Structure 1
């Protein structure tokens, strides 16, 4: 049975959070997905700190952790193993596969990256759709203004016609006497 059938994309998507303007995953969630203990994952990261620059991984502050607990992203601080969690960006998750040896880690990293890519594509499609809608709105606004202008001209012509004196008829006039 393949990994794709075991863990649906929605499960992975629900473990992605937006922190400091970046999409990240918690170390405990990644450890669960990679089927390793969280302490082992952190151990490998500490041994390879040079492979995890700040834009690959960072540690949450006390305030950020409290916020996540209050928003029910994390049931309690005890769930974090008694310390502030590490969070990994898309690049950090890929780098974890290099640090954690095992087929599961490699397969899950690929799956997680695919989910990140799908999310990015959905956002791009959504942005493109919004731009198209804005363009249509602009056109409709211009059309509405043009139609209003045409009706104003028609109203002016109608007023002009109503205010005009009847014109003297020219041309052949038959004798009616």
Structure 2
């Protein structure tokens, strides 16, 4: 069983500042019925603190539908789904205790790690771009100032000048 990265990545959502997977998607990947997965979770609730698993609110589900993350609320089976973080996915494999669940969980964890590495790389690139932008902005101001000084040098202001030479007393300055 080889699951392409794209398939797994498409089932990861960002909710409440966590990367999570829907219980329905995990049940499909683990090859168990969603109701069986939820039963196992309910039997082992002490293994799933809020940072491992939480239930979506009506508003969050509506948001997922409006953003086309899921086709409709019917896709969820008529209930507010549970979502599992990276740690919850690992714990879920331990609770289900099937070979397939373990193998799929390993793949999912690898994807989460890859996503974290990519995000870290992108943050580094973004930081470098911001630094370059700040430098160019300060350089732009410096270059603008240099151009203003050059313009002043090339066309100095014309002040009225005194006439050079001798004037006769009978010629009065007017």
| TM over 0.5, shorter chain | yes
TM-score (norm 1): 0.79
The number of residue pairs the alignment matches comes to: 160
Deviations 1:106-148 (A, max 9, x none): 1111111111111122222112111111111111122222222
The equivalent of 1:62 in structure 2 is: 58
| Equivalent residue number for residue 76 of structure 2 | 80
For 1:143, the equivalent position in structure 2 comes to 139
- Which of 125, 148, 154 is the aligned partner of 2:150? 154
Find the aligned partners of 1:98 and 1:132 in 2 and give their Cα distance: 42
RMSD of Structure 2 on Structure 1 (CA): 2.2
Q: Distance in 2 between matches of 1:77 and 1:135?
A: 44
Structure 2 equivalent of residue 33 of structure 1: 29
Of 107, 110, 118, the match for 1:111: 107
1:7-46, aligned counterparts within 5 Å?
A: 7-46=3-42
Structure 1 gap segments, 5+ residues each? 166-177
Give the TM-score normalised by structure 2.
0.80
Distance 1:146 1:59, change over 3 A: same
Deviation of residue 57 (structure 1)?
0.5
